[in-house]
Structure 1
Amino acid sequence: MSLHGKRKEIYKYEAPWTVYAMNWSVRPDKRFRLALGSFVEEYNNKVQLVGLDEESSEFICRNTFDHPYPTTKLMWIPDTKGVYPDLLATSGDYLRVWRVSA
């Protein structure tokens, strides 16, 4: 049986810090996209947007932004048709809604 043309079924990604929250995006135009929130025991934490590079079959960091305090919850807008603005909600000390571009 040839392995040529067969896709990888298990993917790995190692975040640069302890992951405290995560959520998959369901937008059809942003396949295999994941938001990860850090847990660093100080005020300055991060949210990282990770996506699958289908050519290399590896998850890569697409964007990182600062977040005050660890994110206790992350959630993408539940937009299965891709018609609404690309939004990501995070919670920590407050509920924040971020508009994601690119």
Structure 2
Amino acid sequence: MAVHGAPPKRKEIYKYEAPWPLYSMNWSVRPDKRFRLALGSFVEEYNNKVQIVSLDEDTSEFSAKSTFDHPYPTTKIMWIPDSKGVFPDLLATSGDYLRVWRAGEPDTRLECVLNNVG
């Protein structure tokens, strides 16, 4: 039974099928980029991928906004903790090194590679 004037009920379960097996993922907390996550592939070789997907709230579907190459699988992915949306849109990945990326649509670019050489 529909209640007049009530907003339509939203879908509660969403699905996204990545093009490869996943090894890591992390949700973004930016208020201007709701329902966005980064997904890291697990391919048993050097060439892996990271994909940024977000939910289109009008169609209730996740879609890829950016995909970029990553050497080795990402053991961890983390967005900059930015609940106010005031910092650059950064994403960090670890694998062989720690890498910092600037997220963009459609291009995400590498900002820096950090490695501990002693």
Q: Please tell me the TM-score bracket, short chain as reference.
A: over 0.9
Q: Distance in 1 between matches of 2:71 and 2:98?
A: 11
Deviation at 1:100, TM superposition (A): 1.1
- Report the equivalent of 1:84: 87
Q: Distance in 2 between matches of 1:49 and 1:12?
A: 15
**Letter aligned with residue 66 of structure 1:** D
Q: TM-score, normalised by structure 1?
A: 0.96
Share of identical aligned residues, percent?
A: 79
From 45, 58, 64, the counterpart of 1:42: 45
Gaps of 5+ in 2: 106-118
- Report the equivalent of 1:6: 9
Q: Distance in 1 between matches of 2:42 and 2:29?
A: 24
3-state SS of 1:50 partner: strand
- Report the equivalent of 1:67: 70
Larger Rg computed on CA atoms: 2
Deviation at 1:2, TM superposition (A): 3.2
Deviation at 1:101, TM superposition (A): 2.1
Q: TM-score, normalised by structure 2?
A: 0.83
**Letter aligned with residue 44 of structure 1:** N
Q: Distance in 2 between matches of 1:83 and 1:30?
A: 12
**Letter aligned with residue 10 of structure 1:** I
- Report the equivalent of 2:31: 28
Q: Distance in 2 between matches of 1:18 and 1:2?
A: 41
Q: Distance in 2 between matches of 1:28 and 1:94?
A: 29
CA RMSD of aligned residues (A): 1.3
3-state SS of 1:41 partner: coil
Q: Distance in 2 between matches of 1:40 and 1:20?
A: 9
Higher relative contact order (CA 8 A, sep 6+): 1
Gaps of 5+ in 1: none
Aligned length: 102
